[in-house]
Every structure is written in C-alpha cells, then in structure tokens.
Structure 1
Amino acid sequence: MSRPLAARVPNALVLLSFLAILAWLATLVVPAGMFDVHQVGDRTLLVEGSFRYAEEPLAMPWFSEEGGSGLTNVLFEGLVSGSKWGSAIGIIAFLLVIGGAFGIIMATGAMDRAIVSMIHRSARYQDLMPPILFLLFSLGGAIFGMGEEAVAFCVILVPMMVRLGYDSLSAVCCSYVATQVGFGTSWMNPFSVAIAQGIAGVPVLSGAPLRMAIWSLFTLAGMLYLYRYGRRIRRQPELSPSYSSDQYWRDRSDQGNQAESMDNLDKGIILALVLGLVWVTWGVITKGYYIPQIAAQFMVIGLIIGIMARLGGRFTSLNQLGDQFTHGAAILMPAILVVALAKGIILLLGGDNPAQPSILNSLLYSAGNAFEGLGTQAAAVVMFWFQSLFNVLVSSGSGQAALTMPLMAPLADMLQVTRQVAVLAFQLGDGLTNIIIPTSASLVGCLGVARLEWPLWVGFIWRFTLMMMAMATLVMVIATVVGYQ
C-alpha cells in the first residue's frame, strides 16, 4: 500500500534546505550573467543584446566570514534581506504583527461566539458560503492584487469553516487560492498586468475583454471545485486530509459551543474588527497601502480590541494582553522561516538584480535562446510554463515582471507571438503557481495560520493546480490562434 502524497513530500524547510545546497553547488560551476539596464520613468529596463557572462563563477563560500551570502549563512541573510516594502524583512515583520494582533483578537473569545451565532443563523445556506467567498476573494485578487491580506482573513475563516463542517483546507482555498486565481487572470491588477504591459510597450490595461472572460472561467471552475469538495467533507469530515490537524479547531469549536451567547462586549469587538477590515480595504484600494501601512493598521485594530477586552474584564491584566500577542506571533514562526530561507536561496544565486552577476540572469537568457525556432503556439505555451517555473524562484509579481518581460517582449516579436500574449503568459505563470510553491510568502503565512504543513497542502491542492495549469495552457493556444492584441 503506497503512502499518501503528503507523506512523500518533504517538509517545506527540508525541501528548501536541499535547494539551498543545489544553489550553492551551482554557484561553483554555472557562470553568472548580467544585463545593462536603463531607466524609463520609475521602471528598470534591460538593454537589448547587452547580456554577458561574468568572467568567473560566483563561487559562493560554504561559510562567509564577512557576513555575506554563503551556504551556512543562507537563513540569516534571508531573514535580514530587503526592506520594509517587501521580501524578506518586510514580509516577516508583517506576519509577526498580523499574528500578534489576531492572537489578541482570538483570545477575547468574541470570534468564537460570533461564529457559533452565525452558524445557527445561516444553517440553510452553508453550502453556498465557500463558493461565494471564493468569488469575493477572486475579485479582490483581480481588482487590487490582494495577496498578503489573505493571511489576516485566514485567521477568521479557518475556525469559522471548521465549525461550519468544512476543514482548514477549504478556508485557505476560498481565501488565498481564490486571490491567486483572481491575481493570475486579472484584467486590471496594478502589480502584474499594468507593470508587465508597461514594460512590454503594450497599452496599459488593454485586452481587458478576453482577460475578463478568462477570469470568469477560472473563477467559476474554482467555485465549482470548492463547492463539490466542501459538500463531500461536510457529509464525511473524516475524509478531509487535514482531519487530524483540524482537531485543534474542533476542540476550540467544542469550547465555543458551550460558551454563552454574544454579549454587548462581543458585539463591540466584532464591530471594531469589521470596521478595521473596512479601513484596511479602503486603504489598499484608494490609498495604495502596502505592507508597512497594513501591518500598522492591524496593530491598531489589535490594540483597540485588546483595550476593549481589558476594560470589559476579558483580560485580567495588560500582561495577559502582551502574552496573547506573543503567542499569536509565535504561531507564524514556521512560515517566517520558510520566507527567509527562500529569499536566502535567491541571494545565494546572486540575487535578482539584472545588472549584477546572477545565475538567475543566466537562466533567463538561456531560456530565451531555447525558445527560438518554436512555432507560435508552442512558443506561447513554453513561455507560460517557463514563467510558471521561474515563479518558484521569484514569486513577486512586480519583481518577475521586471526580470522577465524586458527579455520576453522582444523574444515574442521574433517568434511572431504578440506582446499581449507574452504578457498573458507572464500573468498566468506568475499567479497560478503561487497556489502551491513553498516560496510564496503569502501561502506559507496562510498555512501557518491554519496550522497546516506544506506537504499536506500539496497532497490536497495538486489536482486543482494541475487543472488550472491545463486550462491556462489551453488559453495560451487560443490566444495565439486568435492573434490576441
């Protein structure tokens, strides 16, 4: 009898550790490359035909005495890399603040009683909740590039979905996965479509009608998939791959079912939380708030609710409030280590700066040369799959656009593929693989909140991911046939 897939897939930290060793070995033998770049407004573009190899391999040390990149330095360097605006230190700080804030919120007990109350009120319509949530989160991903925000929503949705009779996998699917389906098929995402089209010289936000049709198709497929899975799990909860790990949430559910009904303090806390989420959404859509601002917003929400709970007698002291913040932040530590290790591997390969010697640059250049001679349809499909694989290394949408589109756009001209098709290949490849790759900070954050191991997630989501990738491959062929402009 074969073991389930989740038992055969290594832990995310173990997998990334092996990748770090392979990356270090690659620096000893694979030549690093670089491009000349020039600035057009606030965008960095590659100079066509400027690629060149460095004179010697990077040859990263196994231990860097200077405190730079090296095999044994990979975790620490990943932890301290970047800025507050992105990976890795910004994402790490974001996860710590989010975890701490919701540690306070969950400890008040208001969420438990609110969920029980909602279950009693909506029993007749429970089967519709997962697909409706999937639709809403997909819209969020499509309209304003929602991604990291799903981590915060998972804190609410995971216990709610388990109490409704589903599982934590359903909660991550109808929140985070939905955002990535929307992100990857969007017609107006400012972090992928707009940037990629600008770099490729395509009118920004052009080609929207076909993208809207693609978004509708992929979102509907996700809704139906989740609806069927959810109904099966509600009828036989023990069929859930996360049945054992969800025991934590079921224990909390049993405690919540024994709790008293919501009082005025509970209603005040829930109102504060809802208003806080409205504030966050408003900031993202209208003000362009990102990681630093969103983290600060959730810090304010957590403190206000904590003070309300202390004044209402839910916490016996301010020290208890601090303890709950620490406990909530600690729950996300495994996710933080994955984010740091993934970023450390990129640094070990030379980083993602096209103007600096990097194995990523060599990989990008070699892939571009390999595409020559392909037919238009085959070229479009290969572009999509290359972008999907490259996303494992550079999961940032804007970062991947900056690296790949300056090369893919002129390559599309050579292969007689429209630049709009090249942008579509980037967009689908960048978004859909975020559903499964362990280098996605948002995914590992959501899994950390849900107390799910990455191997278990792979065992659950691989069929859905394969379906999405097959649909995307077909879309690339159709877009080429119709001459998508």
Structure 2
Amino acid sequence: MSQVQPRVRMPDALVILFFITLIAGLVAWWVPAGSFTTEKVGEREVVIADSFEYRSDGFARPLFAEGGEMGLANAPFEGLVAGSKWGSAVGVIAFILLVGGSFGMILRTKAIENGILALIQRTQKLDQVFLVLMFLLFSLGGAIFGMGEEAIAFCLVLLPVLRTLGYDAVTTVLITYVATQIGFATSWMNPFSVAIAQGIADVPLLSGAGYRGLLWVVFTGFGLFFTLRYAKRIRVPAEQPQRAADGALANPYNGVDSAILCAFVAGLVWVIWGVTTRAYYIPEIATQFLVMGLVCGIIALIGRRLTANDLADAFKEGAKDLLPAALIVGFAKGLVLLLGGDDPTAPSVLNTILHHASGFIGDFSTAVSAVLMLVFQSVFNFFIASGSGQAALTMPLMAPLADLVGVTRQVAVLAFQLGDGLTNIIIPTSASLIGCLGAVKLDWGDWVRTIWRFQLGLLLLSVLAMLIAVWIGFN
C-alpha cells in the first residue's frame, strides 16, 4: 500500500524574511551606499535627479552593533521600534495589536454570531450580491481615499459573517484588502498615491482620469470575476442554527445582542465618518475600535453575558492571535533599515539600486522602457511598501527618465501606481497584507499558493495597460 506524501508547505513569511535579511546583510557589505540631494518644492521635499553620489560614511553593517546602531542581528528589534505612531512599523504594530484585542472582546460577546444565525434563519441564504457589493465598495475606498490599513479591521468584522455563509478566510481578504489595492492601483484621485506622484512629476493633478477610470473598471471587474469564481468553488452550505428539543434556537437572539450590534454598527459609522471627513488615520482609528470594543463589552457586562475577567481574557487572546502579523511587520521594516532605509539623503544601498536601475531602463526602446518602469516599481515596492514614500523616492528619477526614453510623464506615474498598488497583494513586507492575513488566521504561504495565478493575471493586465498608454500617448 503506497503512502500518501505530505503536501509541501510554503515557508512561513518569517522564514522567508529571515533568509532575505541574510542576503540583504551581504548586499550591504558589497554594494556601496549612495545618497541624493533634495530640494524644497512647495511643502514637499523632492529628490534632484542628477544629484546621486556614493557615500562611505555611516554605513558599516557589522553582525552585532552597539549604541543603538544597525547590525545584522539588530535588524528585528530596530524594525519593531522604527517609525512613529502615524505609520511605518511601530504605529502599524500598535494598531494591529489594539484592534485585535478590541475585536477579541466584541467576538467574545457572541452578538455577531447570534445575529448572523438569526439572519440565516429568516432569509435562508444570502446570494452573491453581498460579495459583489462589498468588493465594489472596498475598491472604491482604495480609489477615492487610499484605503489600506483600515481593511485589517474589516477583515475581523466580515470573517464570521462570511464563514457562517459558507465562505472562507481567503474570500474575506479578497473582498476587503485585495479590492482596496486594486482600487488604489487604478485610482484617478487618490491623494496618497496618484496626486503625490503627479505633483512630483510636474503633471497636472488628477489629470488622466478618463484612462485611469477605465482601468479601474477593467481591473475591478477582473478581481471580482476571480473572487466570485473562487467563492463558488470553495463554498460549503451555510450552517443552520442548532435547535433545542422544543424547536427553539439553541442560542436565541435577544435584546443584549441587539444592543451590542447597534453599538457595533454605530462604531463602524463613526470610523467611516472619521476616515472620509476628518482624515483619521492609524492613531485615531485604533482608538475608535478600542472604544467600540469597550462599549460592546460593557453592554455584555450589564447584560450578565460576560464578566470583567472574561473581557480581559478576550482582549489578550485577540491581541495574541495577531502577534505573528505584528512581528512580521517589524521584521520587514528591519530588512529595509539594514539596507540603509528609505531616506534619499542618507547613505543607502536602496539609493544605489534606484540610481543604477534608472540608468538601465533608459537603454531600451519606448515600449520596453515603459514596461521596465512597471517591473522596477513592482520590485522596489518589496522594500518601500508605502505608496507616498515610494513616490517621493522614485518619481524624481522616473519622471525625467520618461522624457529621455520618449514616453510621457503620465505613463511614468501610471507605472508607479500599478507597480506599487498591485504587488501589495502578495509581498510579505506589506504591513496591511500581513495584518489582514493575521486577522483571518491565514498563513502567508497558503495565501500565495491560492493567489499567485491571480497575481500573474494582474501583472499581464498591467503590462497591457502600459503598452496601450504608450500607444495612445497617455498624457
């Protein structure tokens, strides 16, 4: 009798980051660091394209460093404490842990679960209209105001809903985070990507909206087709509410559930209002979800559903479930710091790579150069996953390079958008992606195994979009 061979597992994201960090340490030894000079243009610091110079100061990377300096072994710690509360590593890590703990309390009340079961009992099923509506809304969120990290919280919200309807964790990430990144990559008005890139490239702000709007329709349609096809394939019949001997629901929906769900919905409305009208970001959103969790927990206390210790345990359990995601965010930032960081004026291997890549791209024909711009932005996004940060670092070089190779600067901006946004769906250095996967308890390797064909399809669509943009003289 033949033995069934165990399935080969994709290495964990932490394992992959470990080996990439080792390689980065070797690269930091052998590739000379360089820097650019910046100048003030309005309120923004812009890199001067021809200002690159090699630097020998301040870039030694020993195995172990003292006095707070960077060494290979120091990378994980330095990555975990890098940045500020407004973003980068430490802010995103705090956001992930706080939101995870808050949802731990909300889910422990069982109100969401009881509400879903009651809904299923009354409607029997919810068809694919729900998936379509969610995907379109999140894609619009990415296109209009750059929704990204916010999807982590919505993954926590929608996971129990979709599981009860028969869908899985992958479906949850597809209709939330993946949808936001498709909208982000094809946006015609996102102030955090296209507007910044156009400003640096000296292109009229929010110009080219017609072609970008068409791309949004095409890419969103492709993403929606993949999502519905996947969801149909993996869906299992929705679980019906268990009934007691007398025919009543075993876990009846009652007034406590209604009060908790009303507070929960009011909290979500507060979050959406804050993001869209007050430009709330990581510090405010994390605090809003903490307040939401506490209010729902207090209602459960008053209703004698939970004790104070139950809520404390739920908060710790929820934060613990997202700890691996928080660690990956910090380790990925440490990898970037090991290469010198993303400051164009500081000695950095990334600056040297950027300088030589821009020169290499200029040696090819117009169409090939445009596609290579897309490929370069996609690869560079592994190290600088921030849209605004990547725009500030790469566009001052890509814009004049576009003039040299004979494509419009609008095409260079489009290469940045597509390369930056779409690769966020798969790279393990994206804090938002890792946060969403942690929220639904999905291993990064399993995610890659499911999504790689879709990612390849997005790349082919992006190449086609770039070639058409060159052909029509997109401007």
Q: TM-score range by the shorter chain?
A: over 0.9
Give yes or no for contact 2:167–2:236 (8 Å, CA) kept in 1. Answer: no
Question: Cα RMSD (Å) of the superposition?
Answer: 2.0
Deviation at 1:255, TM superposition (A): 11
Counterpart residue number, 1:465? 455
Counterpart residue number, 2:83? 82
Counterpart residue number, 1:296? 287
Deviation at 1:55, TM superposition (A): 3.1
My pick for the range that moved more, 359-368 or 129-138, is 129-138
Compute the TM-score of the two structures, normalised by the length of structure 2: 0.95
**Counterparts of 1:155 and 1:57, CA distance in 2:** 43
**Structure 2 residue corresponding to 1:480, chosen from 456, 463, 470:** 470
Give yes or no for contact 2:422–2:458 (8 Å, CA) kept in 1. Answer: yes
Give yes or no for contact 2:126–2:165 (8 Å, CA) kept in 1. Answer: no
Deviation at 1:324, TM superposition (A): 1.2
Q: Secondary structure at the match of 1:33?
A: strand
1:218 aligns with 2:209: no
My pick for the range that moved more, 122-131 or 362-371, is 122-131
- Shift in CA distance, 293/323, structure 1 to aligned 2, threshold 3 Å: same
Task: Give the partner amino acid of 1:116.
Answer: L
**Counterparts of 2:316 and 2:242, CA distance in 1:** 25
**Counterparts of 2:124 and 2:206, CA distance in 1:** 42
**Structure 1 residue corresponding to 2:330, chosen from 333, 336, 340:** 340
Task: Give the partner amino acid of 1:199.
Answer: I
**Counterparts of 2:199 and 2:435, CA distance in 1:** 30
Give yes or no for contact 2:166–2:237 (8 Å, CA) kept in 1. Answer: no
My pick for the range that moved more, 341-350 or 301-310, is 301-310
**Deviation readout 1:4-58 (Å, 9 max, x if unpaired):** 6xx3521100000001111111111100010011122221111231100113693
Give runs of aligned pairs for residues 357-376 of structure 1, distance below 5 A: 357-376=347-366
- Shift in CA distance, 3/30, structure 1 to aligned 2, threshold 3 Å: farther
- Shift in CA distance, 253/378, structure 1 to aligned 2, threshold 3 Å: farther
Give yes or no for contact 2:146–2:184 (8 Å, CA) kept in 1. Answer: yes
Structure 1: gaps (5+ residues) = 238-249
Give yes or no for contact 1:46–1:406 (8 Å, CA) kept in 2. Answer: yes
Counterpart residue number, 2:404? 414
Structure 2: gaps (5+ residues) = none
**Counterparts of 2:354 and 2:243, CA distance in 1:** 54
Give runs of aligned pairs for residues 222-233 of structure 1, distance below 5 A: 222-233=223-234
Deviation at 1:258, TM superposition (A): 6.3
**Structure number with higher helix proportion:** 1
Give runs of aligned pairs for residues 344-355 of structure 1, distance below 5 A: 344-355=334-345
**Structure 1 residue corresponding to 2:275, chosen from 284, 288, 311:** 284
1:190 aligns with 2:181: no
Counterpart residue number, 1:244? none
Task: Give the partner amino acid of 1:468.
Answer: L
Give yes or no for contact 2:101–2:318 (8 Å, CA) kept in 1. Answer: yes
Counterpart residue number, 1:28? 29
**Deviation readout 1:235-287 (Å, 9 max, x if unpaired):** 599xxxxxxxxxxxx8x998999642321111111111111111111111111
**Structure 1 residue corresponding to 2:442, chosen from 443, 452, 458:** 452
Deviation at 1:295, TM superposition (A): 0.8
Deviation at 1:165, TM superposition (A): 1.1
**Counterparts of 1:299 and 1:479, CA distance in 2:** 45
1:323 aligns with 2:319: no
**Counterparts of 2:288 and 2:54, CA distance in 1:** 45
Give yes or no for contact 1:31–1:56 (8 Å, CA) kept in 2. Answer: no
Deviation at 1:450, TM superposition (A): 0.9
Deviation at 1:156, TM superposition (A): 1.7
**Counterparts of 1:184 and 1:109, CA distance in 2:** 37
Counterpart residue number, 1:51? 52
Q: Secondary structure at the match of 2:100?
A: helix
Give yes or no for contact 1:30–1:57 (8 Å, CA) kept in 2. Answer: no
1:41 aligns with 2:31: no
Give runs of aligned pairs for residues 80-479 of structure 1, distance below 5 A: 80-234=81-235, 259-316=250-307, 318-479=308-469
Task: Give the partner amino acid of 1:439.
Answer: T
**Counterparts of 2:6 and 2:259, CA distance in 1:** 48
**Counterparts of 2:32 and 2:300, CA distance in 1:** 59
Deviation at 1:478, TM superposition (A): 0.2
- Shift in CA distance, 88/103, structure 1 to aligned 2, threshold 3 Å: same
Compute the TM-score of the two structures, normalised by the length of structure 1: 0.93
**Counterparts of 1:226 and 1:122, CA distance in 2:** 23
**Counterparts of 1:117 and 1:170, CA distance in 2:** 22
Give yes or no for contact 2:93–2:326 (8 Å, CA) kept in 1. Answer: yes
Q: Which runs of 4+ in 1 moved over 6 A?
A: 252-258
**Counterparts of 1:45 and 1:462, CA distance in 2:** 35
- Shift in CA distance, 3/475, structure 1 to aligned 2, threshold 3 Å: farther
Counterpart residue number, 1:63? 64
Deviation at 1:67, TM superposition (A): 2.4
Deviation at 1:127, TM superposition (A): 2.6
Deviation at 1:302, TM superposition (A): 1.0
Give yes or no for contact 1:28–1:57 (8 Å, CA) kept in 2. Answer: no
Size of the aligned set, in residue pairs, is 469
* Identity in percent: 54
- Shift in CA distance, 176/65, structure 1 to aligned 2, threshold 3 Å: same
